[in-house]
A and B are shown apart, each in its own frame.
Chain A
Amino acid sequence: MIAIPPGLICLAGILPAVFLPGKVRNAWAVIVGAAGLGAALALAPSSSLTLAILPGVETVLLLVDPMRSLAGCIFALAGLIAIIYAAYREIPAVETIGILASIGATLGIVYAGDFITVFVFWELLAIASLCIIWSSGAPGASGAGYRYLLFHIFGGACLLGGIAWTVIASGNVAIGPAAEGGGLLLMLVGIGVNAAFVPLHTWVPDAYPRASVAGSVALCIFTTKAAVFLLAAIGGWGAAVAYMGAAMAIYGAVFALLQDDIRRLLSYSIISQVGYMVAALGAGTAAGIDAGLAHMVNDILFKSLLFMAAGAVIYRTGSSRLSELGGLGRSMPLTAICAVIGGLALAGLPGLNGAVSKGMVIEAAAGVPYLAEALLLAAVITVIYVSRLLYRVFFRPAPEGGRGAVPRDPPAPMLAGMALATILCIAIGIVPDLLTDLLPGGTHAHPFSPAHLVESAAIFLAAGALILILRSLRYSGRGWGADIDRLYIAAGRGVAWFSAGPMVQAADAIGRILDIIIGFLKRMSANPPVAFRIAGMTLALPLVRMLANQEMAGAYEESLAGMKRRYPDEQIGIWGGGYGLVFVSIVAFLYFVFDLLW
């Protein structure tokens, strides 16, 4: 049976989108998104599509198994939600292209059966995201998009290196465990850029807040989670990856705590939550892979929900800062409800989807020493930053000198997108089997078991105590903007300076020296016998002065000066041919010498 890869449907939908006028384009984008989702849902189990595009390479564009079906459906669904959400206004053409291409590229990665196909879609995803970032026109978007691209080109090239290494080691291009040594390292760096491994994570808080409010919803779904999926599909990772996950979970949570810009806060939250997934996948067991995938699905839902709510707030108030916002619970009640549900799901409240997979992750992490403890610590910090976010935006009194007009709930498309995600968060939270039945390893979640309830209660109690003791919700200020990206920017400026300064100067200097040498040779070659004579006489001049008497030396100098004055009698340019004779004779001589010696 021939099946159509869902990603190709979304990619094919791009071309008409370019030529359609505004409102029609919105409708078209929704149709394409829905068609992609429909194709993903309709894929028959274990259908496949293999093309021989390149000699010697079997490119598997479509491979269907339980893991891929689950990931494909959730990415297609989240993509559709993002399109619906974005349709509150005329979506700019470039952003439409970016969103559709993001969905298509991610679905391409998900359903790919070989590394080459993965790599091609991987690079496409980077360009698609760049379209979304650059289309926003926000201040700083150009630089952020540029840095985003450089990061992902670097990651893509590393991934290609890892793939090449693995392909040579294994003898085929099928997706499988990475080759040992350098191949493993390159592949981890390559995937790590997209998965926001610390310290390769800075593009997330750099770029995501600079996209349009709808653009950042689309961005937050795909890149990092596609990397998580690829980690899961490759498999065979070890404790080092698990600890990287733990580091990301804590690092992201701590930085989320320090932010003032809500989308920057949520960006760090992505890093933190992806850390959970990476930790689960690094644990290496089947349960770990299930936990990582489940948390990927749930994070896609509640994180895009939070980005949608943040977008609604920014759209209605024009501000994105916790220090300026407040009191929106009354004026934007529907948004507030959705945001609270998304936030509590992120925090891991039993009854919402976050608790389901967070419990699975911590359970799977038990096999690696100290991993579960680190993740629990991150969970406590998560509760604190979620509380701070919700409190400051929705529940505290509006700050003095607030903005004039009272904001209201956002337009219907935005609400529809949020409602869809909210319903799914609640549904999976109450009936975890909706999700866990689809997992490849058949692991089940027990979020309502006494042990998990106690665990959740402990997390919330610890967080509550810390909030009361440290009064962390009151922390204000303009937020913590610094991260190690300062270092990367400085390095980039260094390279730019080096290429514009020393390198150009060095090249100019070499050029000048060459000009001098060429000029000298040219003058020499204008009349070689005379030139050699002058050179010889000039060399002998000190001797003559020393040995000869005054009169003879004077005559000698005079004849030399005259020779120089008259030189060259006639200009004979012998460009090329003249040198050629010299070179040929050198070569012939060398050959003669070698013939004698060997």
Chain B
Amino acid sequence: MPDVSGLLPAVTIAIPLLAAVLILITGRHENLRETATIVAALAMLGSVASMLPSILDGGRVTLVLLPMVPGGDLALRVDAFGMVFALTAAALWLLNSFYAIGYMRALQEHAQTRFFFCLAVAIAAAIGIAFSANLLTLFVFYEILTVITYPLVVHIETPEAMKAGRKYLAYLLVGGIFLLAATVLTYILTGTTDFVPGGFLAGSGAALTLQILFGLFLVGFVKAAWMPLHAWLPAAMIAPTPVSAFLHAVAVVTAGVFGIVRVAGWVFGMPLMASLGLGVVLAVIASLTIVTASLFALAEDNLKRRLAYSTVSQLSYILLGVSMLSVAGMTGAMAHIPFHAFMKITLFFVAGAVIVSAGRERISDMKGLGHKMPVTTLMFAAAAIGICGLPPLCGIISKIYLAIGAVEGGMPILLLVLIASAVLNAAYFFPIIYTMLVDRPADPHALDAVSEPPLTMLVPIVLTAVISMLLFFFPSVPFMDLVRIAIGEITTGVVP
């Protein structure tokens, strides 16, 4: 199917922006304000889903928002890979909205209007990143996402939070500058920034220039939290849990790895990456990040921070998949974006539920919680098992593709990274499962007041866990199908 022009991409982005305005207007009437969020989330999911059939047919939807210079317009193009991100973000924003409403009300948080306003703008930016047709558009939405998530990170406004927020901004804004530099350099080299399946940089400059350009991109996409530029992510754990969920699953880090995959597949192209030796560089960074972050997670007693290090490690699975420069590796990398998002958001939802219901953040204080919060903790166990790459959750699927991709890409040494990481993942997740579900508290009455969280939180927890499980049984619907189309695009250079 050829590219078709349509307004839907812009509508999809406009919906949450409109909701943001409504949230500001209705700020004093909580129920009305929350209605705006939920209706917008539903409408946006519907809007994204309505484009799905034509994308699955191999079509693309394009729209120029603002003509500027050739190759540097503000333009949107919905393709299969963008759809992977957009669908993940839209689905999880809906669940996260319910969860956030329950969480913020249960803890009687202040400044809830600002909170929901920022979330709505942020999701618009995330969808914008997913639908960007070129580097310039991607950069614009990427920067909006950075700025608008800052008030979310510093939500509690303590000096500690402000310090964490400064760290967050410092890393991400500096990264943004690098992304701008990379975009400008790309434009200078080729006269365009439009994404082309299979890349468009080949032959446009000296090897060293292109290698440096890739380095600029890599630093630019610091949202992928690769080490040693990861410190902003654990620091941002100071934010309320729905924000953590948003950062880790819905939008922010996902935007980082999305950008790197986009650049690898649609700007450089795998053959050029291979001839420049960039796969090896990326593989080294990803491997070190995977192992080091897992070791940090092992020593961390604060649940949310342990999860943060887990995210750092898991995101590098995606970089690792890209670095293999093989079809299976790229498939694993792309598939891991939605799969990891659904599982990780479950874990953060549970961490927040434990804060709301039991007021506990340290793992060592969570002994026996499972006897009081059976559903919540079981969902945690399921999602943790999934992140470890064990059945019956979707994590095992990306792991299988990554393993095959390592051999296919001629880097079987990376299998050792996968083995070490599998052991370390289990080493830091299963003690949590044991503590919650099997162990008993020293004081038998310590948990008397604890119960399951409110339904607005419990239902999203169950749904994300169940979806993670369904994605194991039906991975093709729709993510693997989309990934297959995207892989077809970048390997053959033509839309299938």
Q: Which residues of A contact B426 (CB under 8 A)?
A: 149-150, 153
Name B's interface SS.
helix
Q: Write the chain A residue with the least CB distance to B476.
A: A55
Contacts of A165 in B (CB 8 A): 407, 412, 415
- Given A149-B426, A576-B170, A583-B181: A160 in contact with B399 (beta carbons within 8 A): yes
Q: A54-B475, A124-B391 are in contact. Are A500 and B298 (CB under 8 A)?
A: yes
Any B CB within 8 A of the CB of A254: no
- Nearest A residue to B413 by beta-carbon distance? A182
Q: A532 an interface residue at 8 Å Cβ cutoff?
A: no
In whole angstroms, how far apart are the Cα atoms of A130 and B418 in the complex?
A: 22
CB distance from B173 to the nearest CB of A (A): 3
- Bound Cα distance A123, B390 (Å): 6
Measured between C-beta atoms, what is the minimum distance from A55 to chain B in Å?
5
Chain B residues contacting A576 (CB-CB under 8 Å) are 169-170, 173-174, 176-177
Main secondary structure, interface of A, reads: helix
Chain A residues with CB under 8 A of B404: 164, 167-168
Indicate if the CB atoms of B438 and A161 lie closer than 8 Å. no
How many Å lie between the Cα of A167 and that of B397 in the bound state?
15
Query: How many whole Å from A382's CB to the nearest CB in chain B?
Result: 34
Asked if A142 lies at the interface with its beta carbon under 8 angstroms from chain B, I say yes
Give complex CA distance A309, B56 in Å.
60
The 8 closest A-B pairs by CB, nearest first: A576-B173, A580-B177, A161-B415, A500-B299, A157-B422, A499-B295, A164-B403, A157-B419
Contact B180 A584 (CB under 8 A): yes
Within A554-598, which residues are at the interface with B (CB < 8 Å)? 575-577, 579-580, 583-584, 587-588, 590-591, 594, 598
Q: A146-B434, A160-B400 are in contact. Are A583 and B177 (CB under 8 A)?
A: yes
Give the residue name and chain of the A residue nearest to B177 (CB).
A580
Judge whether A451 is part of the interface by a CB distance below 8 angstroms: no
Q: List chain B residues, Cβ under 8 A from A154.
A: 419, 422-423
Closest Cβ neighbor of B381 among chain A residues: A127
Residues of chain B contacted by A539 (CB below 8 angstroms): none
Of all chain B residues, which has the CB nearest A498? B295
Q: Which residues of B contact A510 (CB under 8 A)?
A: 228
Q: Which residues of B contact A492 (CB under 8 A)?
A: 427
Tell me which residues across on chain A come within 8 A of B406, comparing CB atoms: 161, 164
Whole-angstrom distance between the alpha carbons of A126 and B415 in the complex?
20
Chain B: minimal CB distance from A511 (Å): 7
CB-based contact B399/A575 at 8 Å: no
CB of A507 within 8 Å of the partner chain: yes
Residues of A within 8 A of B399 (CB): 160
A53 interface hit (Cβ, 8 Å):
yes
**Is B431 located at the chain interface by the 8 A CB criterion?**
yes
Q: Is A127's CB under 8 angstroms from B407's CB? A: no
In the bound complex, CA of A164 to CA of B413 (Å): 12
Contact partners of B391 in chain A: CB under 8 A: 120-121, 123-124, 127
Which residues of the other chain, B, contact A507 by a CB distance below 8 angstroms?
296
Residues of B within 8 A of A598 (CB): 206, 208-209
CA distance A182 to B206 in the complex (A): 37
Cβ-closest chain B residue relative to A145: B434
Does A119 lie at the interface of the complex (its beta carbon under 8 Å from any beta carbon of B)? yes
A62 within 8 A of B: no
Closest Cβ of chain B to A177, distance in Å, is 16
Tell yes or no: B388 within 8 A of A by CB.
yes
B484: chain A residues within 8 A (beta carbon): 55
Is the Cβ of A119 less than 8 Å from the Cβ of B476?
no
Is A150 a contact partner of B209 (Cβ separation < 8 A)?
no
Partner of A499, one of B209, B299, B423: B299
Which residues of A sit under 8 angstroms from B430, Cβ to Cβ?
A: 130, 146, 149
Contact A157 to B295, CB < 8 A, known contacts A119-B400, A124-B391, A575-B173: no
**Using Cβ atoms and an 8 Å threshold, which residues of chain B touch A575?**
166, 169-170, 173
Does chain A have a CB within 8 A of B111? Answer: no
Chain A residues near B415 (CB-CB < 8 A): 160-161, 164-165, 182, 186
Shortest A210–chain B CB gap in Å is: 13
Interface residue count on the A side (C-beta < 8 Å): 59
> Which residues of A are interface residues toward B (Cβ below 8 A)?
53-55, 116, 119-121, 123-124, 126-127, 130, 134, 137, 142, 145-146, 149-150, 153-154, 156-158, 160-161, 163-165, 167-168, 182-183, 186, 492, 495-496, 498-500, 503-504, 507, 510-511, 518, 575-577, 579-580, 583-584, 587-588, 590-591, 594, 598
Once the chains bind, are A594 and B419 in contact (CB under 8 Å)? Answer: no
The reply to whether the CB of B185 lies closer than 8 angstroms to some CB of chain A is yes
Question: Contacting B397 at CB < 8 Å: which of A54, A150, A580?
Answer: A54
Q: Is the CB of A499 within 8 A of B476?
A: no
Return chain B residues, CB-CB under 8 Å to A590.
212
New contact pairs (9) apart from A55-B481, A146-B430, A164-B403, CB-CB < 8 Å: A119-B400, A121-B391, A164-B408, A186-B415, A492-B427, A495-B295, A576-B174, A580-B176, A594-B212
Contact flags B176-217 to A (C-beta < 8 A → 1, else 0): 111011001100100000000000000000101100100010
B396 in contact with A150 (CB, 8 Å): no
Q: How distant is the Cα of A511 from the Cα of B296 in the complex, in angstroms? A: 14
Cα separation A53 to B425 with both chains bound (whole Å): 26
Cα A541 to Cα B66 with chains together (Å): 58
Q: Are A499 and B296 in contact, with the CB atoms below 8 A?
A: yes
Interfacial residues, chain B to chain A (CB-CB below 8 A)? 166, 169-170, 173-174, 176-178, 180-181, 184-185, 188, 206, 208-209, 212, 216, 228, 231, 292, 295-296, 298-299, 331, 385, 388-392, 396-397, 399-400, 403-404, 406-408, 412, 415, 418-419, 422-423, 425-427, 430-431, 434, 438-439, 473-476, 480-481, 483-484
Residues of B near A588 (CB, < 8 A) are: 181
Contacts of B385 in A (CB 8 A): 127
Q: For residue A450, give the distance in angstroms from its CB to the closest CB of chain B.
A: 51
Min CB–CB distance B290 → chain A (angstroms): 13
Query: Residue on A with the closest CB to B414?
Result: A161
Known contacts A157-B422, A500-B298, A594-B208; A584 and B181 CB within 8 A of each other: yes
Docked complex Cα distance between A165 and B400 (Å): 11
Residue of B nearest to A143 (CB): B434
Residue in chain A with minimal CB distance to B481: A55
Residue of A nearest to B428 (CB): A499
CB distance from A591 to the nearest CB of B (A): 6
Question: B298 is contacted by which of A120, A499, A580, A587 (Cβ under 8 Å)?
Answer: A499
18 contacts between A and B (CB under 8 A): A124-B392, A150-B423, A150-B426, A153-B388, A153-B423, A158-B419, A160-B415, A161-B403, A165-B407, A496-B298, A499-B295, A503-B292, A507-B296, A580-B177, A584-B177, A591-B188, A598-B206, A598-B208
The CA-CA distance from A337 to B221 in the complex, in Å, is 71
**Given A134-B438, A154-B419, A579-B174, A163:B208 Cβ within 8 A:** no
Residues of B within 8 A of A126 (CB): 390
Tell me the bound Cα distance from A119 to B390 in angstroms: 10
Tell me how far the C-beta of B398 lies from the nearest C-beta in chain A, rounded to whole angstroms: 11
* Most chain B beta-carbon neighbours within 10 Å: one of A164, A492, A495, A511: A164
CA distance A137 to B174 in the complex (A): 52
Complex Cα–Cα for A76 and B177 (A): 62
* Smallest beta-carbon distance A182→chain B, Å: 6
Q: A164-B404, A598-B206 are in contact. Are A157 and B173 (CB under 8 A)?
A: no
A580 and B173 within 8 A (CB): yes
Q: Among B178, B212, B422, which residue has its beta carbon within 8 angstroms of that of A153?
A: B422
Cβ distance A573 to chain B, nearest Cβ, rounded Å? 9
A587: contacting residue among B181, B295, B480, CB under 8 A: B181
Is the CB–CB distance between A182 and B403 below 8 Å?
A: no
